[in-house]
Amino acid sequence: MRHRYSILFFPLHIIVDFLSLNAAFVGAYGIKFGTINPIFEPPYATLWWVFNLIWLAEILLFKPYIFPRQLFKADHLIKKLFILMAVHVAVLAIYWVAVKGYYYSREHIAITYGIFAVLGMAFRIGGLIFLKEYRARGYNNRKYIVVGYGKLATTIRGFYDAHPEMGFHFYGYFDEPTAETSDLLRGNYNELLDYVRLNQIDCVYCCMPYIDNSRLKDIVDDAEDVDYQVKLLVDFRGFLARGASVEYHDFLPVLNLSSQMLVDFQVNTLKRGFDIVFSLGIISLGLPFFVLVAIVTWLSSKGPVLYAQERIGREGRPFLIYKFRSMYVNAEQGGPVLSGGDRDNRITPWGRFMRQTRLDELPQFYNVLRGDMSVVGPRPERQFFIDQIVEVAPEYRTLLKVKPGITSIGQIKFGYAASIEEMVQRLRYDLLYPERRSFLFDIWIIAQTVRVMVQGRGK
């Protein structure tokens, strides 16, 4: 068999995840209530169906189990699992609000997700360990050759030699021989097709700098008849970091190497959709906690619970940002002043705790729903301070091209800034975001923010 049992990974992955999800749901109910009999009757039987239907919809929409071997790694698989779980939680929260399902046990749902996360990670890590051993014994491997000899050709071989767990076995270089390369080649172009047939080669890597289009066309034309994959190797290192993208002029792909920030409609649409779903989920599930924080804020010092202040958003548009009040009333009677951190006596004791755990930022999920902000993005500043920052660091204007956020790389790595100098230092982190922004990067930043909140390390 050319491809062995790889085709079984996809259905097996789906089946195991569904079994894990249902086992977690039933097991969590037993842990919470000491019995599982009522779970087969409404209203929990309905919730059980909803759990499965949401997961099925995610599989159909996101196709999370389709990935090349190069991404079949623990960090990538677990990251995908947690992304799916985050979306699942958000959609479930919307269902919860829609049906007013306050009779469902939150503890049961939390335990369900906890068990499912453990089972999902255990299956993925266990599967990777099994595959590593399985491939080490010579099974589930792929044979590949490289056409066009040069530095790029040796690079791809070096990659697979360094990652034997991927199961790619090298079967030689093919090119027109020269005095320097004749001893290194398995054969020339005329011998290529017979060699592929004889050795049942799975994949042919073609190095674009060293092969002309006519020979490449022959290799591609033969691929369907002989049943092998053709992959192109093009050396774009040094260009991709500048924001390269592919544009299609009819059928002709054009690589755009412009350093101008590109607006990706799909990314922006997905980001806005995630912002809405995530914010609704946080506000809905966390409403009792919001009320508790508001009560403690009200009791801790005189003044309003919420604090509103004008900030500058995307493209320089002003908006009102909302926070739980962390300072004493009239803290800025003399004009705008940056917080002095732990040394700032304008901050209340409770306010200092909220800043360390980022609880004061929670009302900004309302700003996200309004569209003023995103969950992830550079922190918005006041015009008074922006003018001073731009004098020192004109590159700050780059941040105004994206929507500001509740949390950012700068907030994670640096925290609150107590001076213009510190704002410029934090800017170094935030400038990374416009170039790297993606859905997965946002999820990583959110996860790091949760870690900071739990550890109380907010500066």
Q: At 189, which CATH number?
A: 3.40.50.720
Structure-token match 């909220």, residue found: 354
| Average pLDDT value for residue range 353-378 | 90
Q: What is the pLDDT of residue 23?
A: 96
Cβ atoms within 10 A of the Cβ of 121, count?
A: 16
Asked whether the beta carbons of 39 and 48 are under 8 A apart, the reply is yes
Closest CA to 339 of 307, 376, 378: 307
Q: Within a domain: residue 247?
A: no
Between residues 272 and 131, the one the model is more confident about: 272
Residue 422 has pLDDT above 90, yes or no: no
| Average pLDDT value for residue range 159-173 | 86
Which tokens is 315 given? 């493209």
Q: Within a domain: residue 243?
A: no
Q: How confident is the model at residue 170 (pLDDT cuts 50, 70, 90)?
A: very high
One domain, residues 447 and 300: yes
One domain, residues 322 and 433: yes
Choosing from 104, 136, 168, the residue where a domain stops is: 136
| Average pLDDT value for residue range 149-174 | 87
One domain, residues 161 and 20: no
Q: What is the pLDDT of residue 222?
A: 92
The residue range of the domain holding 190 is 142-235
Closest CA to 414 of 341, 352, 351, 310: 341
Choosing from 136, 161, 195, the residue where a domain stops is: 136
Give the number of domains in the chain.
3
pLDDT tens-digit series, residues 407-417: 888 888 887 77
Between residues 100 and 8, the one the model is more confident about: 100
One domain, residues 150 and 64: no
| Average pLDDT value for residue range 385-397 | 86
83-97, 172-186, 299-313, 339-353: segment of lowest average pLDDT: 339-353
Q: Within a domain: residue 30?
A: yes
Q: At what angle do helices 9-33 and 44-62 cross, to 10 degrees?
A: 150
One domain, residues 163 and 269: no
One domain, residues 41 and 152: no
Asked whether the beta carbons of 192 and 219 are under 8 A apart, the reply is yes
Cβ atoms within 10 A of the Cβ of 185, count?
A: 16
One domain, residues 279 and 216: no
pLDDT tens-digit series, residues 305-356: 998 999 999 888 999 999 999 888 877 766 666 765 556 788 888 988 888 8
Q: Within a domain: residue 283?
A: yes
pLDDT tens-digit series, residues 11-20: 888 999 999 9
Q: How far is CA 244 from CA 170, 396, 441, 442, in A?
A: 31, 22, 18, 20
One domain, residues 406 and 286: yes
Residue 242 has pLDDT above 50, yes or no: no
Average pLDDT over the chain, rounded to an integer: 84
Q: What is the DSSP string of 334-371?
A: TS-----GGG-TTB-HHHHHHHHHTGGGTTHHHHHHHT
147-151, 233-237, 324-328: segment of lowest average pLDDT: 233-237
Long-range contacts of 330-338 (CB under 8 A, 24+ apart): 336/382, 336/384, 336/385, 338/385, 338/417, 338/418, 338/419, 338/420, 338/423
| Average pLDDT value for residue range 69-95 | 86
Q: Within a domain: residue 246?
A: no
> How many whole angstroms separate alpha carbon 81 and alpha carbon 160?
26
Between residues 262 and 388, the one the model is more confident about: 388
Q: Within a domain: residue 93?
A: yes
Residues 6+ apart with CB under 8 A from 134: 140
Q: Within a domain: residue 255?
A: no
**The whole model's pTM is what?**
0.45
Residue 131 has pLDDT above 70, yes or no: yes
One domain, residues 165 and 192: yes
pLDDT tens-digit series, residues 6-46: 566 678 889 999 999 999 999 999 999 999 999 999 999 99
Asked whether the beta carbons of 285 and 110 are under 8 A apart, the reply is no
One domain, residues 213 and 169: yes
148-152, 225-229, 415-419: segment of lowest average pLDDT: 415-419
Choosing from 72, 105, 136, the residue where a domain stops is: 136
Q: Within a domain: residue 252?
A: no
Q: Alpha-carbon dihedral of residues 190, 193, 198, 203, nearest 10 degrees? A: 130
| Average pLDDT value for residue range 51-59 | 94
One domain, residues 368 and 398: yes
Q: What is the pLDDT of residue 334?
A: 61
One domain, residues 358 and 277: yes
Between residues 418 and 362, the one the model is more confident about: 362
Residue 56 has pLDDT above 90, yes or no: yes
Closest CA to 396 of 429, 369, 354: 429
